[in-house]
């Protein structure tokens, strides 16, 4: 278990249903948390953990965008 501040929130926006990275952790919608490492993201991607947590299927292009955003956040 990690502190929420040490993790990244991936969100299914309540209004649009769009899957986004919620860096601030304040937006409304169903969220899933993963650690900031690319390794954690790849594990969640392969096991479909994000899809199970958000209760929806995620298009491959959305995963690519999430991968890029997480890489940027992990560098900080």
Number of domains in the chain: 1
Q: Are 27 and 43 in contact (CB under 8 A)?
A: no
CATH number for 14? 3.30.1230.10
Residue span of the structural domain in which 19 resides: 4-75
Rounded to two decimals, what is the model's pTM? 0.76
Q: Classify each residue of 42-63 as buried b or exposed e, where b means 16 or more C-beta atoms within 10 Å of its C-beta.
A: eebbeeeebbebbeeebeeeeb
Instruction: Using the structure block, give the residue that is written with the tokens 């169903």.
Output: 30
Concatenating the DSSP letter of every residue in 30-69 gives EEEEEESSHHHHHHHHHHTHHHHHHTS---HHHHHHHHHH
pLDDT tens-digit series, residues 29-73: 889 998 888 888 899 999 999 999 999 999 898 888 888 887 887
């Amino acid at each position: 278990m990690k502190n929420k501040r040490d993790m990244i929130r991936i969100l299914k926006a309540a209004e649009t249903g769009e899957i986004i990275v919620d860096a601030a952790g304040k937006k409304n919608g169903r969220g899933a948390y993963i650690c900031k490492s690319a390794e954690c993201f790849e594990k969640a991607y392969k096991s479909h953990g994000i899809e199970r947590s958000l209760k929806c299927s995620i298009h491959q292009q959305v995963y690519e965008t999430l991968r890029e955003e997480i890489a940027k956040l992990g560098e900080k």
